[in-house]
Amino acid sequence: MGKDIKNICCIGAGYVGGPTMAVIALKNPQIQVNIVDINEQRITDWNDTDLDKLPIYEPGLKEVVEETRNKNLFFSTDVDTAIDNADMIFISVNTPTKTYGKGKGQAADLKYIELCARQIARVSKTDKIVVEKSTLPVRTAEALQGILSSTGNGVKFEILSNPEFLAEGTAIDDLLIPDRVLIGGNNTVSGKEAKNALSSIYEAWIPKERVLQTNVWSSELSKLTANAFLAQRISSINAMSVLCEETEADVDEIARAIGMDSRIGPKFLKSSVGFGGSCFQKDVLNLVYIAKSYGLDEVAEYWDQVIKLNDYQKRRFADKIIKESYNTVSGKKIAFFGWAFKKDTNDTRESAAIYVADHLLDEQADIIVYDPKVSEERIYADLEYLNTHSSEEIRNRVKVVSSHSEAVNNAHAIAILTEWDEFKAYNWKEIYSKVLKPANVFDGRNILDKEKLVNVGFNVYNIGK
Ligand SMILES: NC(=O)C1=CN([C@@H]2O[C@H](COP(=O)(O)OP(=O)(O)OC[C@H]3O[C@@H](n4cnc5c(N)ncnc54)[C@H](O)[C@@H]3O)[C@@H](O)[C@H]2O)C=CC1
Ligand SMILES: O=C(O)[C@H]1O[C@H](OP(=O)(O)OP(=O)(O)OC[C@H]2O[C@@H](n3ccc(=O)[nH]c3=O)[C@H](O)[C@@H]2O)[C@H](O)[C@@H](O)[C@@H]1O
């Protein structure tokens, strides 16, 4: 298997495949990078000459795409040709929680991964390095090897695990200056050669000492471990937020105090309405499932608590809105500032806003949503996907508007669901003049200047204060 990689194929043009490959192409102009996907619309959008129409919003992404697209970065639906031409194939397809059968609601659904493996096995005529970029259960490489090595056509595949640690909203910066890159593979001669080949692609812009090589199982399990630890930190600080609300302690002050302990560190201690995003819940649930499948019930229960606490935090926020609205929100207008699961992304997967809205809909609230980057249809689709309220009811009760000032007209309450910077800069005096009184703001992200808002006349409810 040659060290010199000239042609890369990435299967899956999503939040990971798109930005990751764009940066690899940018830093390795000698390599042709083909990103392929079965979703035709997505590929059309990636190829749109209007760079504001790219399917993913990430600060800095369009500049990288502009510099590389149609030079050494190509987007296409022709999966077979891209596989055939590639020396190295990244699999970056989705691995959602299973919604059916064994492991439903917990295990990762690996059907898309398996389809990719079968397609690679069927199409390949030359030896290839196959890279797991998707987040996968530990020992998936074994299954891939099983599929790829049973073609009988003499083609050799070396499987690597190279999990991605980027966070949405900062994907380009995370890719340009990663804390580390992790490459797992076999410790055979060809395995080491493959790891070095992948390492050299990253070494085009990342210091060699930050590219870590491990065995394939450690690499697969490190990714689940990293997400579980990160999610656990949020659930830990959110657990303290509940206690703060009972005791007049302030969760932000606690975060600062403990974060200065260098053993704990200051990051990922922001208490919130609950974590969202496509991965934390999915990956922790997957870890719970894996632990259970090895009969490790105590381990499974330990990690399951991270999810339970997060569900509790979302529910608690909705309950607080109801309680402070004289115990009923029926027919009342609740203005939502933000729908995305965090700022600087248009991604709404598992966003806390969806669950808070759903709970308020149970209580017949009217919800007016403003988010700077999320479309009306996305918001309806998120609520419809839950299958708890009819499409008709959702469209009657939930309105999506294109400015914050439209959202607040005659609102009974304002709820901050996403920490978009622009919310802090609004003219809160003007907002006060438009809402019904008493004027209640529920700051689910602790981003607003409480003193200023109280001086304007608002009642401000925080998390953990
Ligand atoms: N979203 C994120 O920030 C991160 C995600 N990950 C992991 O990366 C993986 C991908 O995640 P996303 O990019 O967010 O998913 P995504 O859903 O945005 O993209 C996956 C793409 O794969 C395509 N696809 C599925 N099966 C295919 C097939 N057989 N052939 C061609 N294309 C196919 C889908 O059409 C879709 O466009 C997941 O395992 C996720 O856990 C890891 C780190 C960060
Ligand atoms: O595997 C993945 O998909 C990725 O998951 C997360 O990235 P992401 O979900 O994009 O964004 P985060 O910044 O981690 O935020 C996740 C959620 O936690 C919330 N959060 C984050 C930090 C914090 O202190 N408090 C808090 O409530 C955010 O608002 C958001 O809803 C990890 O940070 C990435 O390293 C990982 O690659």
- Residue pLDDT, tens place only, 276-288: 999 999 999 999 9
State whether 182 and 312 are in the same domain. no
Asked if residue 70 is part of any domain, the answer here is yes
Task: For the chain, give the percent of residues with pLDDT over 90.
Answer: 98
Rounded to the nearest integer, the mean pLDDT of the chain is 97
Query: What average pLDDT does range 333-342 have in this prediction?
Result: 98
Asked if residue 255 is part of any domain, the answer here is no
Q: What is the ipTM of this complex?
A: 0.99
Tell me if 37 CB under 6 Å of ligand 1: yes
Domain boundary pick from 214, 235, 268: 214
Tell me if 230 CB under 6 Å of ligand 2: yes
CA dihedral over 130, 135, 139, 140, signed as positive or negative = negative
Per-residue pLDDT tens over the stretch 248-276:
999 999 999 999 999 999 999 999 999 99
Q: Known binder of ligand: residue 134?
A: yes
Asked if residue 251 is part of any domain, the answer here is no
Tell me if 275 CB under 6 Å of ligand 2: yes
Tell me if 174 CB under 6 Å of ligand 1: no
Ligand 1 centroid distance, CA of 11 (Å): 9
Ligand 1 centroid distance, CA of 241 (Å): 33
Sheet of strand 88-91, all strands in order from the earlier edge strand to the far edge: 73-76, 32-36, 7-11, 88-91, 128-132, 157-161, 181-184, 211-214
Ligand 1 centroid distance, CA of 37 (Å): 10
Per-residue pLDDT tens over the stretch 352-362:
999 999 999 99
For the cut 50, the answer to whether the pLDDT of residue 2 exceeds it is no
Domain boundary pick from 184, 214, 244: 214
Of 9, 116, 244, 279, the active-site residue reads 279
* 230 close to 270: Cβ distance less than 8 angstroms: no
pLDDT for res 4: 86
* Residue minimizing CA distance to atom 21 of ligand 1: 12
For the cut 80, the answer to whether the pLDDT of residue 318 exceeds it is yes
State whether 327 and 192 are in the same domain. no
Tell me which ligand sits closest to the C-alpha of residue 77.
1
Q: Residue 223 CA: which ligand 2 atom is closest?
A: 1
279 is catalytic: yes
What confidence category does residue 153 fall into, taking pLDDT thresholds of 50, 70 and 90? confident
Query: Rounded distance, CA 447 to CA 444, Å?
Result: 8
State whether 205 and 315 are in the same domain. no
Q: Residue 169 CA: which ligand 2 atom is closest?
A: 10
> What are the E-state strand segments in 12-55?
32-36
Give Cα 74 distance to the centre of its chain. 24
3-class SS at 420? coil
Both tokens assigned to 398: 């939930």
DSSP bridge partners of 91: 11, 132
Ligand 1 centroid distance, CA of 287 (Å): 19
103 contact partners, CB below 8 Å, separation of at least 6: 289
DSSP bridge partners of 334: 367, 413
Asked if residue 458 is part of any domain, the answer here is yes
For the cut 70, the answer to whether the pLDDT of residue 3 exceeds it is no
Residue 168 domain boundaries: 7-214
What's the whole-model pTM score? 0.97
pLDDT for res 1: 43
CA dihedral over 51, 57, 63, 67, signed as positive or negative = negative
pLDDT for res 95: 97
28 contact partners, CB below 8 Å, separation of at least 6: 72, 201, 204
Q: Residue 283 CA: which ligand 1 atom is closest?
A: 41
* 137 close to 292: Cβ distance less than 8 angstroms: no
Query: Rounded distance, CA 51 to CA 266, Å?
Result: 36
Q: Which of 44-53, 57-66, 149-158 has the lowest mean pLDDT?
A: 149-158
pLDDT for res 151: 83
Query: What average pLDDT does range 130-142 have in this prediction?
Result: 97
pLDDT for res 241: 98
Query: Rounded distance, CA 299 to CA 435, Å?
Result: 48
Listed in sequence order, the DSSP H helices in 69-187 are 79-85, 111-123, 140-148, 171-176
What confidence category does residue 152 fall into, taking pLDDT thresholds of 50, 70 and 90? confident
State whether 186 and 323 are in the same domain. no
* 351 close to 340: Cβ distance less than 8 angstroms: yes
Per-residue pLDDT tens over the stretch 379-414:
999 999 999 999 999 999 999 999 999 999 999 999
Q: Known binder of ligand: residue 14?
A: yes
3-class SS at 273? coil
Asked if residue 356 is part of any domain, the answer here is yes
Tell me which ligand sits closest to the C-alpha of residue 340.
2
pLDDT for res 165: 98
Task: For the chain, give the percent of residues with pLDDT over 70.
Answer: 99
Report the CATH number at residue 71: 3.40.50.720
Q: What's the domain count of the chain?
A: 2
What confidence category does residue 34 fall into, taking pLDDT thresholds of 50, 70 and 90? very high
